[in-house]
Structure 1
Amino acid sequence: MEALALFSFTASDAAEISFQKGDIIKVTEMEDDSGWVTAEIQGKRGYVPQSYISLLPHPWFAGRVTRLEAEERLRWQDPGVFLLRESESAPGEFSISLSYGDRVEHFRVLEGGGRYCIWEETFPSLNRLVEFYRAHSIAVDKVICLRDPPSSPQLASQSGCNPYPNPYQGSSQESLLSAGLYSPPPHPDRGSSQHLLEPAARKRRLAHALCDYTPPQTAHLHFLQGDIIDLLDCSGSMAWRGRCRGRVGIFPPEYVQPLQH
């Protein structure tokens, strides 16, 4: 997956990689609650702090959903409707689940040398792979190209009467950053003898999404009604920061209801 660098980062360890604000970073592996992701920048692979980047939003990226959950989502969808998910049998790898109309098929995405492939064609990122198979058949037994699911009239009607107005409407990501709503987080620690930082011993704060929140800004956290959000920073009155579906970003607190422990 591709991500946008929200802040510049200077590596303090040989296993980390530096980047500049605005760089597009290729994320190759994510781990929940680690604070770090494995990424690739200009052919160099290493760790980058998850809180410094924002995954570019794509409706087809489902994060960590199981094979069964993917089949339930895609069952009886039109042929070609798909989602890309993190493989449950091979952590750090990805699979494409695809509707054939009468069934759901799964394609393992192979990775090697920073290139991704399903068949012979190789691509520098998952985004490029997806775009290629939108115009070329991903199936070999019939012609099926990847396509997004049709928009749901029910969801559209719900968003039309959304009782929670978007306080950031008309604001750009740059204006949010300059306004100080989202300041650079502290440099997270990473154990030198560990593959990734072990989760901190803390009580997780969770929230329940009251309705969909899908703004165009990449610095924002996109979520759907009913999603469970891991609250990372609730100190601001205008914007909170949280994690949902493998992404980290900011969102208006009016859209969620914190869960009591």
Structure 2
Amino acid sequence: MEAVAKHDFVATAEDELSFKRTQILKVINMDDDQNWYRAELDGKEGLIPSNYIEMRPHEWYCGHLTRADAESTLKQQKQEGAFLIRASESSPGDFSLSVKCGNEVQHFKVLRDTQGKFFLWVVKFNSLNELVQYHKSHSVSRSQEIFLRDMVMTEQMVVAHYDFTPQESNELEFRRGDILRIVDKESSSQWWTAELRGRQGLIPSTYVTAYLAESA
């Protein structure tokens, strides 16, 4: 995930990362502390204050979506090449690219070199966004031609922007980055009924936004 710096920041501890206003940082981890994120800039990693940056979310980034949920989501897509990028389950801080290929879903590990550049094969990129744009016209697979295509989703799919811990038994727990299916949002503007991993419950509508707008 990328973020743009709103202010200059000078590190005061060894584990912090200095940056200048308008610089683009790669945010690696937002889960350990809501006030301090782990990020990377020019090949260096460190902690940055979350209120000094503005996130630049992409519709294809799904955060902590599991491999199984990624497959379930993509198998509902009609077009070849429908894709999403998610946080790696097996390698924290890394990313996985999941792509619909025929009736199956293939998963590619997004590799990174010592300079922090992202790549699948040979060509390297400064950001995930650059990698995605490149592979919309260059195959992600070496065994067959598969080009990345944006998913077409309905507004009934939403992405969580914050963690939510239920206070009542009829509420549904979720984490930032989870993709939920909205079952009912007519009964209340503040609390919607949603489904996640086979469980249903109420969620606060202000914690989520439409996952993907419909597109051709």
Structure 1 length-normalised TM: 0.58
In the other structure, the counterpart of 1:34 is 33
In the other structure, the counterpart of 2:134 is 132
In the other structure, the counterpart of 1:111 is 112
2:85 aligned counterpart, secondary structure: strand
1:142 to 131, 141, 144: 144
Q: Is the 8 A contact 1:38 1:47 kept in 2?
A: yes
In the other structure, the counterpart of 2:176 is 244
Q: Decide whether aligned partners of structure 1 residues 255 and 138 sit closer, same or farther in structure 2, where only a CA change above 3 A counts.
A: farther
In the other structure, the counterpart of 1:193 is none
Q: Decide whether aligned partners of structure 1 residues 150 and 119 sit closer, same or farther in structure 2, where only a CA change above 3 A counts.
A: same
Q: Is the 8 A contact 1:15 1:47 kept in 2?
A: yes
Q: Decide whether aligned partners of structure 1 residues 61 and 90 sit closer, same or farther in structure 2, where only a CA change above 3 A counts.
A: same
Q: Is the 8 A contact 2:63 2:176 kept in 1?
A: no
In the other structure, the counterpart of 1:198 is none
1:4 aligned counterpart, secondary structure: strand
Range with greater deviation from structure 2 (38-47 or 136-145): 38-47
In the other structure, the counterpart of 1:87 is 88
Q: Measure the CA separation in 1 of the matches of 2:190 and 2:9.
A: 30
Q: Measure the CA separation in 2 of the matches of 1:140 and 1:97.
A: 15
Q: Where in structure 2 are the equivalents of 1:30-69 lying within 5 Å?
A: 30-35=29-34, 36-69=36-69
Q: Measure the CA separation in 1 of the matches of 2:12 and 2:161.
A: 33
Structure 1 unmatched runs, 5+: 159-211, 213-223, 232-242, 247-253
Q: Measure the CA separation in 1 of the matches of 2:48 and 2:26.
A: 11
The Cα shift of 1:21 comes to: 3.2
The Cα shift of 1:111 comes to: 1.3
How many residue pairs end up in the alignment? 171
The Cα shift of 1:108 comes to: 0.6
The Cα shift of 1:67 comes to: 0.3
Q: Measure the CA separation in 2 of the matches of 1:89 and 1:38.
A: 18
Runs of 4+ in 1 over 6 A off after TM superposition: none
Q: Is the 8 A contact 1:76 1:101 kept in 2?
A: no
Q: Decide whether aligned partners of structure 1 residues 75 and 43 sit closer, same or farther in structure 2, where only a CA change above 3 A counts.
A: same
Structure 2 unmatched runs, 5+: 165-174, 179-187, 192-202, 205-216
In the other structure, the counterpart of 2:3 is 3
One-letter code of the match for 2:163? D
Q: Is the 8 A contact 1:87 1:93 kept in 2?
A: yes
Q: Residues 68-122 of structure 1: CA distance to partner in whole angstroms, max 9, x if unpaired?
A: 0000100042111000000111111110000013111100111121121111222
In the other structure, the counterpart of 1:206 is none
2:163 aligned counterpart, secondary structure: strand
One-letter code of the match for 2:18? S
Q: Is the 8 A contact 1:4 1:54 kept in 2?
A: yes
One-letter code of the match for 1:9? F
One-letter code of the match for 2:162? I
1:230 aligned counterpart, secondary structure: coil
Q: Where in structure 2 are the equivalents of 1:70-85 lying within 5 Å?
A: 70-77=70-77, 78-85=79-86
Q: Measure the CA separation in 2 of the matches of 1:76 and 1:148.
A: 13
Q: Where in structure 2 are the equivalents of 1:111-190 lying within 5 Å?
A: 111-113=112-114, 114-150=116-152, 152=154, 155=155
